[in-house]
Structure 1
């Protein structure tokens, strides 16, 4: 492989890695806004037609199970868009990103997820999961082909995450 071909491959891999990361970050951004009447089309556009979404480990396998195909994934997410609202607040934080471009059309990544949720019934929870995600270039974009989440911990929190009290600031 010539030096120019090597450089082209390195740039292509860097762009693919960036696009894979952007795909998962967009997935999390959309999940932060799941609510009554939420339009699932932008979220579903992030998945390949034959995608798999699964929870692993004792807690997540039982809670979420395994969904095969975009329509099965849509059905799972549709539950969160029906009244009554499930979340009052939901924020996903991603860290410890590691992305590997496997070929011109396949990549994989892992992240540690931290999720802060306040549910519509007033309960709050702090959760962490390990995400292992495979991506495939499909329809000209990197899309999720296999999303796997494994619970690290889940902990109830006694007060809602968003406190309506004014923020403390220094006096003028």
Structure 2
């Protein structure tokens, strides 16, 4: 369980603005990975990206040098993981605090359902699904 949680935590850290770690987002996904928004809000907002290159392209639209976020941080809560031979499936709650280029800010909570392929060198994400559970603007805009 630790290895898959480490991969997911690294993914979220690479999506923080400013990033807390250096690395290649693409290296965390399998070549044939799928990334999708679930539920009505995120299915419409994010849709579905298929393949490592498409996923990195979609995620990069939200990350520097694109000015989408001024700051953004993801907090991962303990989850559950089941392994089955060469794959692992997990579910986590994630909290995200964001301040946008517009100056608006919000807090969100999403459920992450993630499937990993357990490669020899590290677990890689083969399916990632995020569903919005809660979203609220934050007051005290700066």
TM-score (norm 1): 0.75
Task: Give the aligned partner of residue 65 of structure 1.
Answer: 47
Q: CA RMSD in A?
A: 1.9
Does the residue aligned with 2:24 lie in a helix, a strand or coil? helix
What does 1:1-172 correspond to in 2, within 5 Å?
17-33=1-17, 42-81=24-63, 83-103=65-85, 105-138=86-119, 140-160=121-141
Q: Mark the CA change 1:125 to 1:24 in structure 2 (over 3 Å): closer, same or farther.
A: same
Which secondary structure does the structure 1 equivalent of 2:80 belong to?
strand
Q: Which runs of 5+ in 2 are unaligned?
A: none
Unaligned runs of 5+ in 1: 1-16, 164-172
Cα deviation for residue 157 of structure 1 reads: 1.2
1:51/1:144 contact within 8 Å kept: yes
CA distance in 2: counterparts of 1:138 and 1:72, whole angstroms? 21
**How far apart, CA to CA, are the structure 1 residues paired with 2:63 and 2:94?**
22
The answer to which structure has the higher strand fraction is 2
- 3-state DSSP class of the match of 1:121? coil
- The C-alpha deviation readout for 1:101-143, integer Å capped at 9, x for no partner, is 111x100111001100011111001101011000002353200
Offset of residue 34 of structure 1 = 6.1
1:137 and 1:53 map into 2 onto residues whose CA distance is 18
Aligned pairs, number:
140
Tell me by how many angstroms 1:64 deviates.
0.2
